[in-house]
Amino acid sequence: MADLRKGTRLADVPFQVQLPISPKFMAQLIETKTMKSGFREVELPFGSKPVTVELPESAMVIYPNEIETVSDVKAALLEAVRNPIGLPPLREFVKPGDKVLFVHSDITRNIPRNESIEVLFEELPFLKDEDLTIILANGNHKQAPFDDYDYKEEYRKRFRFINHDSRDQSQLVQVGVTSTNKKQFFRFFVGDQTRKALLGFIPKLFAMIFYLLTLQFGKFRRNLGLGYPGRLILALMARKPTPVILNKAVVDADVVVTLGQIKPHYFMGFSGGAKSIFPGVAAFKSIKPNHLMKAYLSSRLGSISDNICRADIEEGVSFVKRLFIINTVTDGAKGAAKIVAGHYIEAQREGVAMARRVTEVAIPQKFDVVVVSESFPIALNIYQTAKTLPPAGKILNPGGVMIAVCECPEGIAGKFIVNEIIYQLGVVYSCPENHHCILVSGLDRKTVEESFFTYASDFEDAMAQAKRLVGKENPTVGCIPRATRVVPV
C-alpha cells in the first residue's frame, strides 16, 4: 500500500459512525412527547440515530418514489459491464498487459467496493494483482483514514491503494485546459452581485452596526463575509479556462475504470459519470474554478443538459483516453435502483433517467417552512448539511424558513469554505429571496452562529423561531426527511 493516511477508526461501517454528542441533548431529541391536538409525529434521520419530531397535521412529508431495487448487486454489476452503453464490454475494452486504475468514490458514497473488485477479476482473468491500482477519489474533501473503508483484508494486502490528495503536488500532473465558454457566467455573476450590493448596502450597514452595538460578534463576522469585491475576484478566477490537473496515476494507467454513484447533486444536477475523475482525482487548482460557476443559472439541482459546471468537467475528462465507468443509481435509501456501465456521458445519462424516476417528486405548492434532514455522512458537519437546503429552496416561499435537522458532530468543517463558497456562491442561488436557515444539531450556539445557520436548542425552538420570522402562527410546512435524495419538480 502507498499514500495512505492512518488515524482513528470511525465505526464498523462507513455509514454507522459513532461520534460524541451530549446524552442529554440526544435524550431530548429522541424522547417521544405527548401528542398535541392537530399535530403528527414524523421520524427524521439525524445522524447516528433517527429522531421523532411533531409537525402540524397539515404538513406535507415528501419522500423519494418507491421503486424496485437491485437484489443481487454482483449479478447487476456483471450484467452492466457485459452490456455497457456506448463502449465494448469490459472484457474487450481491457487488453492483457494493460495497467488498470480503478477509481472508487470516497467514503461518503455508498458503493459496492468489494463486489466490484470480484467482478473485475471475473471479467478480466488475465489481470495480475500488480497491474491493478485502486485510488480513493476524495476530490477536495477531507481524506478519511484508509482503515475506515470496508475493503476485505485480502484486498488490502493484494493491491496498491492511493488516497488522493488534491493539494499534494507530488501526486498531480496537468493534462490540458478546458475551453468551456464562461463569459455568460461572468456577465451574469457581475450583474447579480452588483444588484445585490446596491440593494443591500444600507440595510446591511445598519445590521452590522446593530450587531456590534449588541455584541453579536458571531453574526457580525458571518455577515461581513467576502463582500462585493471579493466575490468579483473569485468570479474573475472562474472566468479563465480550467486547468485539468489530475492524479498522476490516471496518466500512468492504460485503462481507467471508475466506480461511482448517481444521485441528485445541488449544482452538477446529478452526480456520477465524469465526476469520479473531475473533481474526484483532480487538483484543488482545477476544482476551484469549476465549482465557483455553481452560481450560474444552469448549475442547479436536477439540471444536466445545459449545466455549465457539468459541461466543464466532461470536457476535462475527455483528456482521459480509455475510460470505462460503472455507476450505481441510488434507490432513495442506501441501495441501488440500477447499475449502468460504459461511456462516461452516455451511461451516466441513462443512469440519470432512472434516477429521475426515483427522486423527482411533483410538489403542488410552496411552503412557509421546509424541514430537511439526513443521516450520516451528510449529517457529519455543516459543510455536508448545506447540501440538504437546495431541495428545500425549490419549494420555499420568499421570506420563508428552512430548518435543517442534522447532528453535525464534526462541526462546521471550514468557516470560510462553508459560509462563502458553499452558501453565498452556491446554496443562495437555489433559494428564494430573504430566506432564513435554522439548524437543529448537537452543536453549541457559538459554533452554529459562526456559520450561516441560526442556532436552535431543539426542534420546538426552531419552529417557534420560524413562526416569528414568517409572521404566522400557522405557517404552511413541508418536510423532506431524506433531502439529498429528492428533486422537487
Give the model's pLDDT for residue 234. Answer: 67
- Per CATH, the number for 23-62+363-488 is 3.90.226.30
Query: What local confidence, expressed as pLDDT, does residue 228 receive?
Result: 57
Helix H, strand E, coil C: the string for 422-489 is HHHCCHHHHCCCCCEEEEECCCCHHHHCCCCCEEECCHHHHHHHHHHHHCCCCCCEEEECCHHHCEEC
pLDDT at position 281: 96
Rounded Cα gap, residues 8 and 4, in angstroms: 13
Q: What pLDDT does 261 receive?
A: 94
Q: Which residue has the cell 444536466?
A: 304
Q: Which residues contact 207 (CB under 8 A, 6 or more apart)?
A: 223
Q: What per-residue confidence (pLDDT) applies to 216?
A: 74
pLDDT at 181: 66
- The CATH architecture assigned to 73-180+240-358 reads 3-Layer(aba) Sandwich (3.40)
The dihedral over CA atoms of 422, 423, 425, 428, expressed in degrees to the nearest 10, equals 140
* Predicted model pTM: 0.82
Residues 6+ apart with CB under 8 A from 269: 300, 301, 302, 303, 304, 307, 310, 352
Alpha-carbon gap, residue 197 to 230, rounded angstroms: 12
* C-alpha cell, 26: 440526544
**Residue 21: its pLDDT value, please?**
45
Q: What pLDDT sits at residue 421?
A: 83
Give dist(CA 354, CA 369) in Å, integer: 30
CA distance 373 to 394: 16
Amino acid letter, 308: I
Distances (CA, A) of 19 to 15, 45, 108, 386, 408: 12, 16, 16, 20, 10
Residue 34 neighbours by CB under 8 Å, 6+ apart: none
Domain boundaries, the chain: 23-62+363-488, 73-180+240-358, 191-238
Torsion 363-368-373-379 (CA) sign: positive
Crossing angle for the helix pair 227-239 and 183-213, nearest 10 degrees? 160
- 327, three cell numbers: 455507476
Which residues lie below 8 Å from residue 27, measured CB to CB, with a gap of 6+? none
| 8 A C-beta contact, residue 370 and residue 392 | yes
**Beta bridge pairs of residue 42:** 53
Q: What is the pLDDT along the chain (489 residues), one digit of tens a residue?
A: 444 433 333 333 333 333 344 444 444 444 434 456 678 999 999 988 899 999 999 999 999 998 888 989 999 999 999 999 999 999 999 999 999 999 999 887 889 999 999 999 999 999 999 999 999 999 888 788 888 899 999 999 999 999 999 999 999 999 999 887 677 777 777 777 677 667 666 776 677 777 777 877 766 666 666 565 666 666 666 667 788 999 999 999 999 999 999 999 999 999 999 999 999 999 999 998 888 888 888 889 999 988 989 999 999 999 998 999 999 998 877 678 999 999 999 999 999 999 999 999 999 999 999 999 999 888 999 999 999 999 999 999 999 999 999 999 999 988 888 988 899 888 998 999 899 999 999 999 999 999 999 999 999 999 999 999 999 999 999 999 999 999 999
Helix axes 183-213, 217-224, angle to 10 degrees: 160
What pLDDT sits at residue 23? 43
8 A C-beta contact, residue 380 and residue 17: yes
Tell me the CA end-to-end span of the chain in Å, nearest whole number.
46
- Paired strand residues for 360: 487
> Cell triple for residue 373?
434532514
